[in-house]
Amino acid sequence: MSKVTIFDHPLIQHKLSILRDENTSTKEFRELISEIAMLMCYEATRNLPLEEVKIKTPLTEMTAKKIAGRKLAFVPILRAGCGMLDAMLTMVPSAKVGHIGLYRDEITHKPVEYYNKLPGDVEERDVFVLDPMLATGGSAVDAIQIIKRSKPRSIKFLCIIAAPEGIDVLSKAHPDVEIYCAAKDDHLNENCYIVPGLGDAGDRIYGTVICLSLSILLIGVLLCACSDKGSTTSTENGALTEVKDDNGNLTGYERRYTNDNGDITRWDVYDADQTYLYYVLYEYDDQDRLQTETRYKAEGFAEYRYVYTYDDKGNLSEKAYELPHGEAQVYRYNADGEEIERLYYDTEEKLIKREVLEKENGSHTIRLNLPRNNFKDKAAAI
């Protein structure tokens, strides 16, 4: 299990009490987050190794101590983690910065990744992951898993408030990661908010919250509306409906969400036991044309996505099938909507194969299969 350090310093606890107060302004909340993070950084870096160096004061030479060549990186989980970043950099200005973009799906409460940018030399650095709240632990677990792919020297997780459930999940998933927090609260409520907590840290840092209690109420109403089990035939937006095969046998369940134009924006899929399998998100451009179609596992990891490109007349010209590690396939179409070309890319986005399709007797036939060395073009969609 992970080592968990809960700070009991009077200054931290004093500032934390003001931070929790619902009457604390956005400006003051942001300042308090920064001040608490600075005090936490002071404690979390206590065990950094030192080495002796020779220096000269205005009076004499002496042996002093400096941090022994440890390179640090601070990685906030967007967006709330950025509220802690400036304070950490004030303490360690030489540290490099990465960012992990995750948001919590309000229906599943699972983290969804949308951004990942780490320092190029992260394998040489001790990484501090920053997020004010450790609630379910899902975002922290996934962010750290992403960082571990780059093999850093060590990882520590800093949060201001943690729920017991989040600590337990993170400790079991990453027992080698030390956890530092200013407070361990009581529990998570039915909407996965920390109690007593402080509300949504990101909203309070950036002033985007209108009415937290109303927000929680609306989420609760949506969850209740979507939690009915058993057969439903309602076609209401987001209603749980049965999926049956041609023989009328139940094969699973689904939820579909649509926008004001009737276009599907999200599709949730369950098996016959109502176990959550995956979901798909759809995005449209200003002309109501499908732009992207991204499928996520139930745990929140992206499996693949389709990116659609259109010509000046609005006809589909390219469809790119992209995988998380960089592999991609691009399908090109003519003005009649017929597939005419396929391009294949490896994890480094290098073209490795091109197939040209020609129509013969009503069906497509692959006429060319060229390796990357014989073809220099690259799909615009990649």
- Which residues does the annotation mark as catalytic? 104, 108, 200, 203
The answer to whether the CB of 2 falls within 8 A of the CB of 166 is no
The answer to whether the CB of 281 falls within 8 A of the CB of 266 is yes
Task: Give which of 242, 266, 267 is closest to 252, Cα–Cα.
Answer: 242
Task: Give which of 117, 143, 128 is closest to 70, Cα–Cα.
Answer: 128
Q: Tell me the residue type at 357.
A: L
CA distance 312 to 330: 19
Q: Which contiguous run of DSSP H or E holds residue 38?
A: helix 26-44
CA distance 121 to 322: 26
The DSSP string of 188-241 is E-TTS-EESS-S-HHHHHHT--S-HHHHHHHHHHHHHHT---S-----STT--E
> How big is the CA angle at 103 (ends 182 and 136), to the nearest 5 degrees?
50
Contacts 24+ apart (CB under 8 A), 21-27: 22/199, 22/212, 24/204, 26/204, 26/205, 26/206, 26/207
CA distance 18 to 23: 9
Could you tell me how far CA 80 lies from the centroid of its own chain?
Answer: 12
Indicate if the alpha-carbon torsion angle 223, 224, 230, 233 is positive or negative.
negative
Residue 10 CB contacts under 8 Å (≥ 6 apart), including other chains = none
The answer to whether the CB of 101 falls within 8 A of the CB of 114 is yes
Task: Give which of 37, 120, 43, 111 is closest to 77, Cα–Cα.
Answer: 111
Other beta carbons within 10 angstroms of residue 190's beta carbon come to 10
